[in-house]
Amino acid sequence: MRSGISITVDRTARLRLEGVVRDRNAAQKHVWRAAIVLLSADGVGTTEIMRRTGKSKTCVWRWQERFMEEGVDGLLRDKTRPSRIPPLGPEVAERVVALTLTDPPVEATHWTAAMMAAQTGISESAARRIWRCHGLQPHRYRQFKLSNDPNFVGKLRDVVGLYVDPPAHAIVLSVDEKSQIQALDRTQPGLPMKRGRLGTMTHDYKRNGTTTLFAALNVLDGTVIGRNMQRHRHQEFIRFLNLVNAQVPADKAVHIILDNYATHKHPKVRAWLDRHKRFTFHFTPTSCSWLNAVEGFFAKLAKRRLKRGVFHSLVDLQAAINRFVAETNENPKPFSWTADPDQIIAAVKRGHQALDSFH
């Protein structure tokens, strides 16, 4: 052993080092480092330590010195080394950010890492790293739609008021139709899911007709009144209103929340409404389908039953929809509105201001 090197291991350190050597799950670099120190403490020479551990002389000396300076913890921690590649300056990041906020010089809608690397002379990983540090995601976008209804505030408060504080001795129904539901059959049967493999389904399909689901969601108890129809004209809508009128208690006032689809405002529909005094229509603001509670039921139906469904005929599709409605009514969940209308109004105002200032 070199002169000036004296390895002394107390009982606590020896137990830790021996535990590292015996641990089958320990990193191998930690095992041979601990072995070097234990052999040195036992008085084994450098040449013999090199033979037993398979390490070079400088490596043995390095970890002997590390243990003398930092103890066992020094053996289990690697010191960081400076990168061989000089870091990019702040001016590079500023240029990448500035370019990202502009349109690319080629015929493309957004920047890619390869395009940015070619434009700025840096690597693609560096471009992605700068984007990540500055919260930029040029490959993504969000869709939006601001309502231009002049009566937006009044309609919003009217509908939200029905959700939060419905009138006494009344029923509140959220009504809409999901049109063009296709009965899609696959051209080949798929394979079921198993361990390590997803279920399969052909990308192409056969169309076996379409149907329209008229639905009324009772926001108080979560039950749904549904009816499949071939079309979604005012004639079908009046037939659905007659169905609703027959199924809800006759002594209850009925408040119906609707969107601004032309069928809902047809003269014959208005005439039907005049004949049925207990019904009151409440229209959502334009471009505010998210305000209609029944849209959540339609989304659940599409995601859980329609999107991956295989229907050999239109009858199969309609039967599946009817079963889904029946299962929903077996375990209904009341609709709960939680958003603050004042915050919604403020967000819409900020959106209009941002668009006006930008454009």
Question: What count of Cα atoms within 13 Å lies in the side-chain half-sphere of residue 207?
Answer: 6
What does the block give as tokens for 54? 């398979």
Q: Quote the strand ranges of 96-161, DSSP E.
A: none
User: pLDDT tens digit string along 196-236?
Assistant: 999 999 999 999 999 999 999 999 999 999 999 999 999 99
H or E stretch including 248? none
SS3 state at 183? strand
Amino acid at 286: T
Amino acid at 260: N
User: pLDDT tens digit string along 289-338?
Assistant: 999 999 999 999 999 999 999 999 999 999 999 999 999 999 999 999 99
Give the pLDDT mean for 153-162: 95
User: Is the pLDDT reported for residue 148 higher than 60?
Assistant: yes
SS3 state at 270? helix
C-alpha–C-alpha distance, residues 110 and 102, integer Å: 9
pLDDT at residue 4 in the model: 56
CB-based burial of residue 211 (10 Å sphere; 0-12 exposed, 13-18 middle, 19+ buried)?
buried
C-alpha–C-alpha distance, residues 26 and 304, integer Å: 46
pLDDT range class, residue 1, cuts 50, 70, 90: very low
User: Is the pLDDT reported for residue 3 higher than 60?
Assistant: no
Max CA separation in the chain (angstroms): 109
Is residue 248 a contact partner of residue 254, using CB atoms and an 8 Å limit? yes
Is residue 131 a contact partner of residue 100, using CB atoms and an 8 Å limit? yes
Q: Where are the alpha helices (DSSP H) in 101-140?
A: 113-120, 124-133
Angle at 162 between CA 159 and CA 168, to 5 degrees: 155
What does the block give as tokens for 216? 């009324």
C-alpha–C-alpha distance, residues 323 and 202, integer Å: 25
User: Is the pLDDT reported for residue 83 higher than 60?
Assistant: yes
pLDDT range class, residue 82, cuts 50, 70, 90: confident
- Across 39-43, 83-87, 146-150, 199-203, least confident range: 83-87
SS3 state at 171? strand
H or E stretch including 15? helix 11-22
Residues with Cβ within 8 Å of 16's Cβ and at least 6 positions away in sequence, in order, are 72
pTM, rounded to two decimals: 0.73
User: pLDDT tens digit string along 247-280?
Assistant: 999 999 999 999 999 999 999 999 999 999 999 9
What's the whole-number average pLDDT of the chain?
93
Distance of CA 73 to the CA centre of its chain: 42
Residues with Cβ within 8 Å of 100's Cβ and at least 6 positions away in sequence, in order, are 111, 116, 131, 136, 138
- Give, in order, the Cα–Cα distances in Å from 146 to each of 142, 259, 345, 347, 353: 13, 15, 11, 10, 11
Distance of CA 96 to the CA centre of its chain: 28
Is residue 223 a contact partner of residue 215, using CB atoms and an 8 Å limit? no
pLDDT at residue 2 in the model: 57
